[in-house]
Amino acid sequence: MTQSVRSLSERIMGAFQTVMVGVERNVFALQIALFGRGHALIEGVPGTGKTLLVRAFALLAGLDFRRIQFTPDLMPADVVGTTVFNPKTTDFVTRRGPIFANIILADEINRTPPKTQSALLEAMEERHVTIDGVAIDLPSPFMLCATQNPIEYEGTYPLPEAQLDRFMVKIPAGYPEASDELKLLARGAAGFDAHELERSGLRPVTSAGEIIEAQASVRAVHVAESLQRYVFEIVRSTRASQEVVLGASPRAGLVLIIAAQGAAAIAGRDFATPDDVKDVASLVLSHRLIVHPHAEIEGRTSAEVLDGILATVPVPKDATPAAAS
């Protein structure tokens, strides 16, 4: 089963090469979120391809895609929907909002007030929304991809910790390497238009049904008891660190295990290893940590603090079937 996940991942990654360059790590993170039934927060300055990344990913996955532009005047009903009166039938009918799609791009999510941001919590956690007291299931699979600008704070509303904790991974969308940026310019000069992905020849390489099967395969990946203990020690160490004000929650530990299962399945293995945990730890935990002010003054980021923690937690030697035998 995990070989099918690896094949699926390779198809998506290979097709991405025709659209974007230097984004292998970001595509890997999106796959971790999708296969793990999670959500992704993408942070980067304008013009770094955040929207294109999600649009292309949804198209290659063969999934229904909707973009919601978050603005200060956006209301919860604009996202989830509402009931309206039909004068012809004298009945109230439910008008579903744009959140009813497989992959949602919540563009500049921190530009809308907390009331509207909180409208997403139920969808992210329960995978349904409530409209006038009636719970309506969202399509399956369902993933929310939110973007935010890390340097522009005027007119923004920082995401509360409760909502940050709902994102399985946080993806840093930085500037490309020089060689990748030159390739990007060459493609633009050759006529590539990011606004017309279908006309550029990009086609789905999978389907919703195959992705749902991949999600089941990921959760079947074996996680040894010693590896579970390793995740436990990492999470507990974030809370004990003198450089951290707020450490990772128990939910973060659960998500870290699922992400490690996803990394193992993408690699074609039916068991997770400590390397899988370390590979995804920054994606899963960095945005869940609040760094102490004295560490911030010294220029320490949450990712750097986490690297230090990972370096101190003993790695189990018997976390793989080969080691156990």
Does this chain's domain 2-213 share its CATH topology with 221-317? no
Selected residue with higher pLDDT from 283 and 298: 283
Structure tokens at 242: 């003198």
Do 302 and 287 touch, CB atoms closer than 8 A?
yes
Residue with tokens 């704070």: 153
What is the average per-residue pLDDT within 163-178? Answer: 91
- For residue range 8-64, list pLDDT tens digits in order: 999 999 998 888 888 999 999 999 999 999 999 999 888 888 999 999 999 999 999
Instruction: Enter the tokens of residue 83.
Output: 């009931």
**What does the pLDDT read at residue 116?**
87
Query: pLDDT band for position 187 (50/70/90)?
Result: confident
Average pLDDT over residues 239-262: 94
Q: Is the pLDDT of residue 154 over 70?
A: no
pLDDT tens, 257-297? 999 999 999 999 999 999 999 999 999 999 999 999 988 88
pLDDT of residue 324: 46
User: What is the reported pLDDT for 152?
Assistant: 65
Q: Give the whole-number percent of the chain exceeding pLDDT 70.
A: 96
**153: confidence class by pLDDT, cuts 50, 70, 90:** low
- pLDDT at 112 exceeding the cut of 80: yes
pLDDT of 133 higher than 70: yes
**The token pair that represents 146 in the structure block:** 């939110």
How far, in Å, CA of 242 to CA of 291, rounded? Answer: 9
pLDDT value for 3: 81
Report, as an integer, the average pLDDT of 228-248: 94
- Whether this prediction's pTM lies above 0.95 is answered by no
Cα–Cα distance, 117 to 99 (Å, whole number): 13
3-state SS record for 264-289: HHHCCCCECCHHHHHHHHHHHHHHHC
Give the domain ranges of the chain: 2-213, 221-317
Give the pLDDT confidence score for residue 106 in this predicted structure.
94
CATH superfamily, domain at 2-213: P-loop containing nucleotide triphosphate hydrolases (3.40.50.300)
Decide: 146 and 19 in contact? Cβ < 8 Å: no
- Checking if the pLDDT of 236 tops 80, the result is yes
What are the two backbone dihedrals, phi and then psi, of residue 93, each rounded to the nearest 5 degrees?
-120, 150
Strands 134-137 and 128-131, how do they pair?
antiparallel
- Mean pLDDT within 211-229: 96
Looking at every residue in the chain, the average pLDDT score rounds to 90
CATH topology of domain 221-317: Helicase, Ruva Protein; domain 3 (1.10.8)
* CA distances from residue 154 to 49, 72, 149, 157, 290 in whole angstroms, order as listed: 22, 12, 11, 9, 22
